[in-house]
Amino acid sequence: MATVEELKLRIRELENELIKSKQKQSDAEHHLRPKIDKMSAEVVDSNPYSRLMALKRMGIVQDYELLLFDYDKVELANMNRLFFQPHQAGLSKVEAAEHTLRNINPDVAFETHNYNITTMDNFTHFMNRISHGGLEEGKPVDLVLSCVDNFEARMAINTACNELGQIWMESGVSENAVSGHIQLIIPGETACFACAPPLVVAANIDEKTLKRDGVCAASLPTTMGVVAGLLVQNVLKYLLGFGTVSYYLGYNAMQDFFPSMAMKANPQCDDRHCRRQQDEYKKKEVERPKQEVVQEEEEVVHEDNEWGIELVSEVSEAELQDASGPVPDLPEGITVAYTIPEKDGASGETVEETDQSLEELMAQMRKM
């Protein structure tokens, strides 16, 4: 039988071990930063907003909120995309995403919904959160992003946004993993997903019957990373009002080819809410004084160039001026930064800000 002294020694050992274990366990939490009241522009590396605040003239979104909808679970097969980590396998994707993002930035507010938006009840709830889940209590959200891998879910988002007149951005990667696209949809104004549906939707085929058993869709993290980057860049441009917001931007990874275009809504669209939005848009256009129409069109494409980023260039402004114009006096061997070519109508494959109808564009594409 153990003596009292032996028992006391064992207690001390256990207490020390427990302290060490708890220390290790909470190590990560010790490094978590507390919430902050006001974003600082101080140029120190310990300021998590220093890189962002250097862009402050572009406009900083003061309040951040993220509503996430997904019914999937994290699997080991998802690890090739870097965002989810192996210890999160089995968690719902929205839960894992919230955990990771909150860990990085505790100042962001989250609302997660772990359900399939295509079932009747969930769809109603989904519409409700779009209409009333904005930062301003009870107001609609600023933008809906579609990052799904099937047409059924896309059509659900399309239906909801058409009914609500909610602006949204669609994104996707092809099943062979070497191309993708992003698209801005303004109900009534630009083509919705039902205005120009892919073959599988127009032919009313049940896509589940097309999936082959035991065949896995390919996935390249590079293609997904590029498309996700282009999507969120477009979101920032749209929300903060800098640069030209793309209506449609494709990415062909095999050839590094990036077609861009704009498509008007289709007056024969199957979605009655899309047609209703088109009527309302037309009415607004007619009511608008004629001179302002031109201005308005410019506003839509966000061509306002007064974004004025604070340029911290490694060359002087004068040197930059030289580099972007004709450069006759530069010493041999000096290159210039590339500039946007003149818009002379001979822009080849890039169709920007067209006023053509969907039918005209389709006819063009058939000729290619």
Question: In angstroms, rounded to a whole number, what is the distance separating the alpha carbons of residues 99 and 114?
Answer: 14
Cα-Cα-Cα-Cα dihedral sign, residues 118, 124, 125, 126: positive
DSSP 8-state class, residue 75? -
Under rule CB under 8 A, residue 256 binds a copy of itself: yes
Question: In angstroms, rounded to a whole number, what is the distance separating the alpha carbons of residues 324 and 340?
Answer: 10
DSSP 8-state class, residue 201? H
126-134, 138-146, 265-273, 279-287 -> range binding a copy of itself (CB under 8 A): 265-273
- Within residues 14-43, the interface with a copy of itself by CB under 8 A covers 14-15, 17-18, 21-22, 24-25, 27-28, 30-33, 43
Q: 107 in helix, strand or coil?
A: coil
List 215, 286, 287, 291, residue binding a copy of itself (CB under 8 A): 215
Active site residue 216: yes
List 65, 323, 353, 357, residue binding a copy of itself (CB under 8 A): 323
Under rule CB under 8 A, residue 332 binds a copy of itself: yes
Distance in Å, CB of 128 to a copy of itself, minimum: 30
Nearest to 80 by CA among 193, 192, 223: 223
Give the residue with the Cβ less far from a copy of itself, 127 or 269: 269
Distance in Å, CB of 362 to a copy of itself, minimum: 7
Question: In angstroms, rounded to a whole number, what is the distance separating the alpha carbons of residues 109 and 146?
Answer: 20
Give the residue with the Cβ less far from a copy of itself, 79 or 282: 79
Nearest to 238 by CA among 36, 41, 59: 59
Distance in Å, CB of 304 to a copy of itself, minimum: 11
- Within residues 166-185, the interface with a copy of itself by CB under 8 A covers 174-179
Under rule CB under 8 A, residue 124 binds a copy of itself: no
Residue 256: left if φ>0, alpha if ψ -120 to 50, beta else—which one? left
Question: In angstroms, rounded to a whole number, what is the distance separating the alpha carbons of residues 276 and 282?
Answer: 10
Under rule CB under 8 A, residue 236 binds a copy of itself: yes
- Within residues 92-111, the interface with a copy of itself by CB under 8 A covers 100, 103-105
Positions annotated as catalytic residues are: 216
